[in-house]
Structure 1
Amino acid sequence: MGTFDATVGVLLLGLLDFKDAYWVRCIVYVLFVVVTAHSAVSMYAAWKLCIVNFAKPESLEVIGWTLPFTAIATSVTALLTQTFLAHRVYILTKGTYCVAVIGVSSLLSFIFGIYTGTRAGVIQKMMGLARLSPFAACWLGFQTFTDLLISVRLIYAFARSRTGHRNTDTMVNRLIRGAVQTGFLVSVFALADLFSFLLHRNTYLYAMFTYPLGCIYTTTLLDTLNSRIELKTMSNNARGFDGRVE
């Protein structure tokens, strides 16, 4: 939590420096609240599982409310992060069709995620989660598709921006690296979460990927915003005293 709070502090300074739109600030503040709450819930889940219910294997048959809350929190963080990144795709490409596909896919993922988490909270029994397999597959499938589509479009847009100048291309390569990180890591965890749930739904193996997924989305957004400070410094260093790019 200390590292996350420090990162948010740097981010808030960056928001003030770049004078971001009000909706961007709202996304950051909402994510801060959601991820802080989710971190507290995760610590409570670990305490209850490892201390309160230690040596009580029968308690594992009931999933409780922490995993359903995690699914809902992850769906919210994914929707907000993907909304911000979809806006970036639109600014860079002006491709309304692609952004529309991203929006629909992200919204469907959000709906299936909320439904999966809510139904899991109602079912409660570990053995009853099998009926949620199609909804979980749709949730994580649409989520992964959205992340990969955003990354591909950003990488393509940045790659076309290369000019042949070393300083400029260094900045472009930094943006491409960020775009790869945006989709790759969350996609790996989402797919691991999906397959572990489908293949080992009678265990808690999928929880290893479910709990950190929402934080990965938030970190992705924080890195995207905070990297502007680095890019601004690189841009200033790439300019001569007369304002021309060297």
Structure 2
Amino acid sequence: MTAMTSEGVMTPPPLTIGVLLVAILLNMCLFGVVSQQFYSYWTSGFEDSTRVKLFVVTQISIISLQSLILWQMAWLSLVEHYGMLLDPNAYTWRLSVSSMCECVLVLSANIFLSIRIRSLTGSRLQSGLTMTFSSCAFVLGMATTAITWFQTSQRSFAVTQKITSEATALAVAWHGLQALSECLITALLARALLKSRSGLRKSDTVVKYLVRTVIQIGLVAAVWAVGELVTWFFLPKQAIYTILSSTSGSFYTHLR
């Protein structure tokens, strides 16, 4: 696995085999959970709108693509090219595509939730605000991935090269804005649900459960985004951030 760290060090695949195995294990577990959720949803007979069904199909399709990319990297590292000095281009484009898939997953989920906020509150301002933050995070994520892809694909494993300050600033802005979007969506959804309380004990108990779940999911998603950035900066040689980036898609969709 090619790992371009925040210090600009290209880490040879043999040094990140352990990280890759952990990422594969977590990805397989989450992929199995998400697949089961998708199967249960599709066979449950819910009469959801075409928009909702399209959202579900989009999510599972992108998650499947991410998983296939990770499993293919495992095959290259552990079987086909085991012990060999690998072509970095064979890995950088796969990691970059996986990162782009993550951006699409988060954007589609946040747009879906923004629409839900509008339906609950009737406020175009609130839903527009969350869509704007999420869209900006998406653009920053795609730009960061594209720039890093270009830089890493031009280097060999033996070369140490600083990632430009532009890419670093974009990475910080991307994850920071993504975390902010999660917190904003969580706050607005929780507020809307609390306002929907009817005064009946049973229904209010359900609302409180939903609010608690929304808050937990939002905080975990925000921490996941920040954790990916922190490990990228402070644990670059261990490439721990690849575990988060490789599993964030399945993790995020499972929570949402």
**Which residue of 179, 184, 195 corresponds with 2:230?**
195
- Does the aligned pair in 2 maintain the 1:82–1:106 contact within 8 Å? yes
Matched, 1:68 2:96: yes
| Equivalent-residue separation in structure 2 for 1:32 and 1:98 (angstroms) | 28
- Does the aligned pair in 2 maintain the 1:65–1:121 contact within 8 Å? yes
Q: TM-score, normalised by structure 1?
A: 0.79
- Does the aligned pair in 1 maintain the 2:120–2:192 contact within 8 Å? yes
Q: 1:139, CA displacement in angstroms?
A: 1.4
Equivalent in the alignment of 1:92: 120
- 2:35 maps to a residue whose letter is D
Equivalent in the alignment of 2:150: 122
What whole-Å deviation, never above 9, does each CA across 1:143-177 have from its counterpart, x for those lacking one?
11111100011111222333443211221022112
- Does the aligned pair in 1 maintain the 2:148–2:163 contact within 8 Å? no
- Does the aligned pair in 2 maintain the 1:89–1:154 contact within 8 Å? yes
| Equivalent-residue separation in structure 2 for 1:137 and 1:197 (angstroms) | 10
- Distance of aligned partners of 1:152 and 1:134 in 2 relative to their CA distance in 1, 3 Å threshold: same
RMSD value over aligned CA atoms?
2.3
Matched, 1:5 2:5: no
Structure of higher RCO (CA pairs closer than 8 Å, 6+ residues apart) = 2
| Equivalent-residue separation in structure 2 for 1:129 and 1:116 (angstroms) | 15
- Distance of aligned partners of 1:6 and 1:129 in 2 relative to their CA distance in 1, 3 Å threshold: farther
- Does the aligned pair in 1 maintain the 2:34–2:253 contact within 8 Å? no
| Equivalent-residue separation in structure 1 for 2:208 and 2:87 (angstroms) | 47
| Equivalent-residue separation in structure 2 for 1:102 and 1:206 (angstroms) | 26
Q: TM-score, normalised by structure 2?
A: 0.76
**Which residue of 51, 76, 80 corresponds with 1:48?**
76
| Equivalent-residue separation in structure 1 for 2:86 and 2:235 (angstroms) | 18
- Does the aligned pair in 2 maintain the 1:112–1:136 contact within 8 Å? yes
- Distance of aligned partners of 1:80 and 1:39 in 2 relative to their CA distance in 1, 3 Å threshold: same
Structure 1: any 5+ residue segments left out of the alignment?
222-246
- Does the aligned pair in 2 maintain the 1:71–1:116 contact within 8 Å? no
| Equivalent-residue separation in structure 2 for 1:218 and 1:192 (angstroms) | 17
| Equivalent-residue separation in structure 1 for 2:201 and 2:151 (angstroms) | 58
Matched, 1:82 2:110: yes
Deviates more, 1:196-205 or 1:69-78: 196-205
Matched, 1:147 2:182: yes
Name the % identity: 21
- 2:92 maps to a residue whose letter is G
- Distance of aligned partners of 1:60 and 1:144 in 2 relative to their CA distance in 1, 3 Å threshold: farther
Structure 2: any 5+ residue segments left out of the alignment?
1-30
- Does the aligned pair in 2 maintain the 1:106–1:143 contact within 8 Å? yes
Partner SS for 1:162: coil
